[in-house]
Structure 1
Amino acid sequence: MSGAEKGWRRGPWCAWLAATLLCLAGSAHAQGEAGAPIRLGMIEGLSGPFANAGDAVARNLRIAIDRVNARGGVKTAEGARPLELVTFDSKGNVDESLIQFRALVDKRIPFVLQGNSSAVAGALVAAINRHNMRQPEARVLFLNYSAVDPALTNENCSFWHFRFDASSDMRMQALTEAIRGEHTVRKVYLIDQDYSFGHQVAKSAREMLAAKRPDIQIVGDEFHPIGKIKDFAPYIAKIKASGADAVITGNWGNDLTLMVKAAREGGLGARFYTFYGNGLGAPAAMGDAGVGRVLAVAEWHPNVGGAASDAFYQAFRTRYPEPRDDYVHLRMQMMVEMLARAITQAGSTDAVKVALALENMRFTNDFHDATVRADDHQVLQPLYVSVMAKQGGDVRFDNEGSGYGFRTVKKLKTAQTTLPTTCRMERPAS
């Protein structure tokens, strides 16, 4: 081949042709070819200090997607289509998350999945609002499985955002109901990550304790940098010095694991009322010191009981048998099931049609019952407060091969976890 021929092949005409073909392929994919996968774009920290939390999310989403695909996928006007997970590494920070969001929409992926960080979720809501207004032909929906800042379904609510986890206020409602009847708790220390979520956790803890247990004294209210503390021993020393008999924290990921490990090493005997103390290494880090002392709140845990719940958990463990992979979220798998049903009802992946199908949708199985509230797109569901215990008896399953599991101390029905919303949602014209 001559140099001129090579130059022609690399020239403007070839670049135009390649771009045109790529555009046509992307357009056909966006419109929904028969059999083409429906892509779900997960934006999470898959590297950095919270990579373990991002990996745990991906495992839950993959098993849920596989369950849908094993049934033949999702029915649309173009025929049955499988779901496909596409991951984007946000490195756990807001700026990178927004960069990855642009990459996601450039790929014409119609659904954004994220949850590990309310700061990231808030930035994504704002970015999606702008994107959907500017590009109505390529609108996307945001499905949130863990970002629990109440603002996301109150003053910053969006038609394009759905939350499948309980808000931090709903979780605190459950924890403080457990504390209400625990009269050995007299002094409470609040310690949280220094960002919007952590501040909201502390705020709701103060307000709810004042209403339910005005006799309790708050002996500490502290915030620390998120994902940067390697040694929590100085914080534990301050908690011990305060005389606190209970700690309330919304910490998650390594910020929780390292803190409870330091509590064990520092001989802190206080109870820990946590949002996420039942996984990602926390039970093993606390060991015997956590038995009867570490409590967590969630929409489900492996020892809630019943054949259907046991089968759900055992299916996960069969797929992911390694102890380090044992972190199961019902809400993430529920989210995928509800999305698949909404796409089928809508007949397409159109953001408006799917959103309308999700509104007021009810998810029920033999051990859970949840509903999407149309007013703010918050999922309403029961919550369990559970306490760490040695495996055995009614604690049939341990966490992460640690020999320690959790047993229910209080179940709150949906009516008890439902809180009012101040959302004034702007709905699209079409």
Structure 2
Amino acid sequence: MRTFIGSAALALAMLGSTALSAMAQETIKIGYVDPLSGGGASIGQIGLNQLNFIADEVNARGGINGKQVQIVGYDNQTNPQISLVQVQKAIDEGIQVIVQGNGSSVAVAVSDFITKYNERNPGENIVHLNYAAIDPVLTNEKCSYWHFTWDASADIKMEALTNFMKDKEDIKKVYLISQDYSFGHAVAGAAKRMLNEKRPDIEIVGDEYHPLVRITDFAPYVAKIRASGADTVITGNWGQDLALLIKAAGETGLDVDWYTFYAGGAGAPTAIKQANLENKVFQINEGINNLGYGPAEERAGAYMERFSSAPVYFPRVFNMMDMVFKAMEEAGSEDPGDFIPKLVEMKHDSFAKGEEGFMRADDHQFFQPLYIAALGELGEGEKFDEEHTGWGWKLAATVPTEDTLLPTTCEMERP
């Protein structure tokens, strides 16, 4: 009897295991490793919201290759060491696609980890999809076959931004302030180098760095900007570090123009409106609302309706996932070893306006049109505001794809 019961239990266990395995095979799991707590949580949650929205869109259409898509969130607290623990946890749970973006120091650590993992575990391929970390090292000396990025690098963005700024004769004194890690230093370095080349008459009156997502009162930093006599600030800040910096500027009445990469992120548009900095805060990115492109307006509207309390989204995440899912379908597989060749050199109509971009094979950098915009009151026909402020992004300049093509020093090792 004991033998029979034991055999029956074993059979049931094996049946259960087989059933779980079958269920797993019917699901494409994507691991999202970004901050879901701490100072970067507001930005990290946006990425998770958007990935869930996209997964639901895909699943409603029958999934990818007949399989449903599931997004699994892993909180990395914007910490490289914690990130590697979370990536390994995702791998242990059978996940082969890792999405990460916030924090270039995190991205470098994750990319290195995944590259070495794939070298040590042939056939167990993992890919790193990067939607926000833009330290140029990621597509130059630290490039990897297993890493792809959809946000323009700091050098690409600064090249476009300084081309826009060089014709503004009222810019005389520039203050640089950024977070004290690899990306912040890359932004400041590029700004100094490019402004010196294009407008050597501009004086850099400040070069400031502060701890990443740890400052709660930026008033002392704003006081330094005021004392410098700057008429313009360039910052690579994102998340709460930008929102709180703008908030402090508004509270002290600092009257300067701001040139940013991430003023469209969570909390920043609200801070800009409250500071009454209309048409004084510029950002450069891969898309804004109110460009009049119907497909983007329809999809963005559906997203904002679902996440009405936090309606911010990243156009590049739509580009990224649309391309990755297309690559999976063309390969007939969700294994990165199978679909990466389809992703390399893929052309894709950008989310924001339907203009063509492409993935460069040399360094796995996605190139696309970029847009420079300032936040201000909505005009006639402009229906999208930001964070329910009544203000929206207003186009100041379009940078065509061909004008973003900076060279790379990447010497990629391919399997």
Aligned pair partner of 1:425 in 377, 399, 412: 412
Inter-partner Cα distance in structure 1 for 2:207 and 2:363: 30
TM-score (norm 1): 0.90
Tell me the percent identity: 43
* 8 Å Cα contact 1:369/1:381 also seen in 2: yes
Gaps of 5+ in 2: none
Q: Deviations over 1:355-403 (max 9, x none)?
A: 1110011111653322110111000001000011112335432100012
Match of 1:49 in 2: 39
Aligned pair partner of 2:256 in 243, 260, 270: 270
In the alignment, residue 371 of structure 1 is paired with which amino acid? F
CA RMSD in angstroms comes to 2.2
Inter-partner Cα distance in structure 1 for 2:191 and 2:334: 40
Is residue 60 from structure 1 mapped to residue 46 from structure 2 by the alignment?
A: no
Question: What SS does structure 1 have at the residue aligned with 2:57?
Answer: helix
Is residue 295 from structure 1 mapped to residue 285 from structure 2 by the alignment?
A: no
Match of 2:343 in 1: 358
Q: Deviations over 1:316-371 (max 9, x none)?
A: 2222222xx11121110111111111111111122222111100111116533221
Q: Using the TM superposition, give the Cα deviation of residue 126 of structure 1 relative to its aligned residue in structure 2, in angstroms.
A: 0.9
* 8 Å Cα contact 1:294/1:388 also seen in 2: yes
Match of 1:348 in 2: 333
Inter-partner Cα distance in structure 2 for 1:54 and 1:100: 15
Aligned pair partner of 1:39 in 20, 26, 29: 29
In the alignment, residue 179 of structure 2 is paired with which amino acid? Q
* 8 Å Cα contact 1:153/1:377 also seen in 2: yes
Question: What SS does structure 2 have at the residue aligned with 1:296?
Answer: strand
Aligned pair partner of 1:149 in 126, 131, 135: 135
Match of 2:154 in 1: 168
- The 1:94/1:67 distance shift into structure 2, 3 A limit, reads same
Q: Using the TM superposition, give the Cα deviation of residue 61 of structure 1 relative to its aligned residue in structure 2, in angstroms.
A: 1.1
- The 1:331/1:53 distance shift into structure 2, 3 A limit, reads same
Query: Deviation above 6 Å: which 4+ runs of structure 1?
Result: 20-27
* 8 Å Cα contact 2:304/2:312 also seen in 1: no
* 8 Å Cα contact 2:123/2:337 also seen in 1: no
Question: What SS does structure 1 have at the residue aligned with 2:329?
Answer: helix
* 8 Å Cα contact 1:26/1:107 also seen in 2: no
Aligned pair partner of 2:313 in 317, 328, 345: 328
TM-score (norm 2): 0.93
- The 1:23/1:426 distance shift into structure 2, 3 A limit, reads farther
Inter-partner Cα distance in structure 1 for 2:105 and 2:64: 32
In the alignment, residue 85 of structure 2 is paired with which amino acid? I
1:70-85 paired onto structure 2 within 5 Å: 70-75=60-65, 80-85=66-71
* 8 Å Cα contact 1:283/1:290 also seen in 2: no
Q: Deviations over 1:34-93 (max 9, x none)?
A: xx1101000011011111011010111112122222221112xxxx11211011011221
Gaps of 5+ in 1: none
- The 1:237/1:215 distance shift into structure 2, 3 A limit, reads same
Q: Deviations over 1:257-311 (max 9, x none)?
A: 0000000011111101000112311122122531011001110011222323322
Inter-partner Cα distance in structure 2 for 1:181 and 1:308: 34
* 8 Å Cα contact 2:331/2:339 also seen in 1: yes
In the alignment, residue 325 of structure 2 is paired with which amino acid? A
Match of 2:198 in 1: 212
